[in-house]
A and B are shown apart, each in its own frame.
Chain A
Amino acid sequence: MRDMQVLIDIPKDTKAELQKEKTLEEKLEILSDAAKYDVACTSSGVDRAGKKGYLGNSCASGVCHTFAADGRCVSLLKILMTNHCEYDCKYCKNRKSNDVERATFTPDEICRLTIEFYKRNYIEGLFLSSGVLKNPDYTMEKIIEALRMLRGTYKFNGYIHVKAIPGASKELIYSAGLLADRISINMELPTQDSLSKLAPNKHMANIIRPMNQISGTIAMHRLAVGKSARMERAGINDHLMNSIWGKEADRIGTDATDRANRLLPGLQKDTDSFLFPADKKDLNLGRAFAPAGQSTQMIIGATNETDLELIRTTQNLYKSFDLKRVFYSGYIPVNEDDALPEPGTPVPLLREHRLYQADWLLRYYGFFADELLSEEHPFFDDAIDPKCNWALNHLELFPIEINTASYDMLLRVPGIGPNGVKKIVNARRYTKVDFEMLKQMRITLKRAQYFITCNGKMLYKIPLEHRFIRNRLMDVDSVEIADVGGQSVQYKQMNLFSDFNMSCTG
């Protein structure tokens, strides 16, 4: 007997699993803990009414159901199917060489959790990702099995976000997209160099190629039902003369493929959309392919990319592949490795916050990446937000008159957002807008006052001078910066010697 055990070489972790089947509680704890580093937890992008006999609907604005202790929204049941992984990405907690507790959900367990949580209004749907079990195709097949059961047997009509495993076959990714609402492939790192340094099993080609194919297939499905090839964007973009979605944006299917080719030579051989699903029945469900679009995620602070590179990559992804969102994930040191920041390094929360602010400027405010940063200043200012920074560097354009300024210019004033602009333009049709009205409209005058006039007058008599305004804006921003880290601003008594550089010599 003893000899038998020596002969059969069972890996250590499998052996442990064999000894004791884990309970659903244990599995949920392990696999949600393993999934928490994925950022995307949005349930937005598609409106779908409920129907009798089915469970669930979907709301384009997204619904958050709770907020975890880190302040992040929980909208979906975010879990991994398994945290067993064949890959050894250095930044990842579930990498092959790490000795962590492993578990795997059965498709039925995933379905029951989703359905029961959904009925209690805990979640809006399912976010399903996975470690690479055996190989990408096998993993993808298992994921699809769970999704088919959820949509078919359990008649679930809510939101599903599924991760495509890089390297899985086309047919499998097509099937996954037909079953889910959003499909995403994590880019993780924006260049091939960083990727080969930190994720030796991943290749840029395996990420860009499916991304291109997914965007082509989404466009194909949209055109087939009489929609435009590109996804819908925030309504404000319709009013802008120029934005990254405007006239200059590439048309999907023609120029986008060229651009993808330039990014990655050798892509030409592939067609730019999927043609056959893994199972013909998936097409008969009558669902569009990924109606809520695709998204991706990049890790911030594990390698030495500049903010400019990141934001340029983001813009390119939006333009070429029509991605719905690009997420940033501040790197949290979980592994010890020479190529990585040391454990205990603080999470770059402020940097992540600034990148998201810039991302919003691209998607809602008509800004372009190269307006926000330049080769000389490739990083965002810590003390002041990107929009204020842009306005300070273009003081020659300000102040603008609220009652006559264009949509584009109003949106570029710090303190005025898309909603504020809509309110101002609406009010302008009936009356002259004054500062009292702006206050009522909840326009942030503590930022906007330096850049606007109402009926020819500014709110206070102030010099339009770079250093003066910058100091004032830094004061306003300090509150926001403290909020990012979950702290409060510490105020102190001003001191002539330290604050005004006076000395008492002689």
Chain B
Amino acid sequence: MPEHTVKAFDEDITHLRGLIAEMGGLSELAIQESLDAMVRGDETLAAEVVKRDRKIDELHTEVDKLAVRVIALRAPMADDLREVVAALKIAGVVERIGDYSKNIAKRVGKIEGRDRFEPLTLLPAMGDLAAEMVHDVLSAYAARDPLLAKEVIAADDKVDAFYNSIFRNVVSYMVENPATISSAAQLLFVARNLERIGDHATNVAEMVHFAATGTYPPDEDD
């Protein structure tokens, strides 16, 4: 981006982007660790994920304040305004992604008899896809790369397909093993959370595209 006459504005934007990157890093780690905790049954790790979510919330508040102050003080125009508005929205969505991970972590202790619980093996692959989308969309934000953002949007179909697949698998597992229904129901929520994370990554991707080009990406089938 070209430099601005008001140097303080550059400082503010850089700081804003730094804060969002930091939030993104935290939420990325939260997805990974909540899944690891879920698969291994590691409640200590899960508790850490829950605890660390507070940091994401704090950063979110900080982004909000800074963005509003920039708008109030500097009245940015055109791409500068887009940048700030996108930052404001993206921070909100990234915060939600953190919440979904926290929710997954909270369910770790509620799975019983995990050694014999086959549906658990279905989750990591879906988690990998969702986490990859979040990773890519944050990289797209850092690089202001609309093409990578589009790729993230395209990947959401795969996460949805996974969700449907896991849903069916878990439901048929419940039918065959009624004793595990309460644990299996928890897994459905975990899968649902991952699916929502994918949707939110898509939302961020659309905003990255918007901030970079001024238009929302068209719906297209390649």
**A and B from one assembly?**
no
- Contacts from B to A (Cβ < 8 Å): none
- Contacts from A to B (Cβ < 8 Å): none
